[in-house]
Amino acid sequence: MSDNAEEGIARIQAAAAQASGADGLKKHHAGNIAYLDERVVVFFLAIAIIGLAVLWASTTSALILYGSLTGVILLTILWGITRFKRLEAIRRERSHQAASWQSDEQK
């Protein structure tokens, strides 16, 4: 493997996906894109948290302070709901995969 371990792992995973056919490569790329999307969201959330810390440290208006706090609470609840739905979708997908593997084994 090269000095860059992540690159080596990515190459091996891509080669395995390519060996499983065109559909396997498409699924591999879709998974990587989803992973990158999650990383982008995390970076935006980090920037938003820093911005909120600056806002809360510098504001003198109670309306801005409590309004932004309410917004953060609502966004956290919304994010939790979407995360829960995503986990449920992943569980359904995995159960479908397991069912297809079991049907392949029975043939």
Q: What is the pLDDT of residues 4-31, one digit of tens each?
A: 777 777 777 777 777 777 676 677 666 6
pTM of the full predicted structure?
0.52
Indicate whether 1 and 46 sit together in one domain: yes
At residue 21, φ and ψ (nearest 5 deg) are: 110, 175
Q: Total structural domains in the chain?
A: 2
pLDDT bin (cut points 50, 70, 90) of residue 1 is very low
**Structural domain span for residue 95:** 61-107
Q: What is the pLDDT of residues 57-100, one digit of tens each?
A: 998 999 999 999 998 999 889 988 988 988 898 888 888 877 87
* Buried/exposed 18-40: b ≥16 CB within 10 Å, e otherwise: eeeeeeebeebeeeeeeeeeeee
Residues in the chain: 107
User: What pLDDT shows up at residue 29?
Assistant: 66
Q: Are residues 66 and 91 in the same domain?
A: yes
Same-domain pairing of 68 and 19 = no
Residue whose tokens read 């959330």: 45
Residue pointed to by tokens 């609502």: 74
Name the residue type at position 20. S
* 11 lies in the same domain as 23: yes
